[in-house]
Structure 1
Amino acid sequence: MKSTGIVRKIDSLGRMVLPSELRSNFNLKEGDALEIFTSNDMIVLKKYAPADIFTGEMDNLIEYKGKKVSVNTIKELARIAGLKINNNTNLLQDDFELDDPM
């Protein structure tokens, strides 16, 4: 973890202002949500990124109709639907083959 050298005080309501340079560097806009994590003696802020609605997985997400779904979940749902999936990490049209073609 890299130190920015920036120190901020917390006000009586527990608020702290993130410097505009940091907000700009991390593309944080007014109204953006931040997740708060703790690790030992650290508080870590991370721009909120919703996880897979089925599994909570946060990697390899695809947004569909405003909901996040991971590639792994898509592959599992395709298997349940009777589609054969190649084991490639990228989902391409050629990765799907119907078990019972019409």
Structure 2
Amino acid sequence: MSGFRHVVMFGWAEGTTTMQQEEVAAKLRGLTAVIPEIGTLSVGLDAGVNPGNFDFVVVGDFADRYAYEAYRDHPAHRAVVDEYIKPIVDRRAAVQYEL
């Protein structure tokens, strides 16, 4: 397998609703229609099985790091981050790696 993977986990601020999380998920999923560099994008709310987990995850697969960077810097992605994620995020962890 070859490619480039981006994984980001979010912990939401206290008081964040399930509806807000689902809205973030929908907005992120919608990016696949406007950013052609996205290979696959998987998003999900934590299942609540283990205490202390992050609340939300995004896993994106791209052809290479340049495709990831195009996604990262794309105005549509930046808008989702600025308008929907930043207002409710409390903590974030991310990693990118070659497949």
Query: What is the TM-score normalised by the length of structure 1?
Result: 0.24
Q: Which structure has the bigger radius of gyration?
A: 1
Q: Which has the higher contact order (CA 8 A, sep 6+)?
A: 2
Query: What is the TM-score normalised by the length of structure 2?
Result: 0.25
Higher helix share: 2
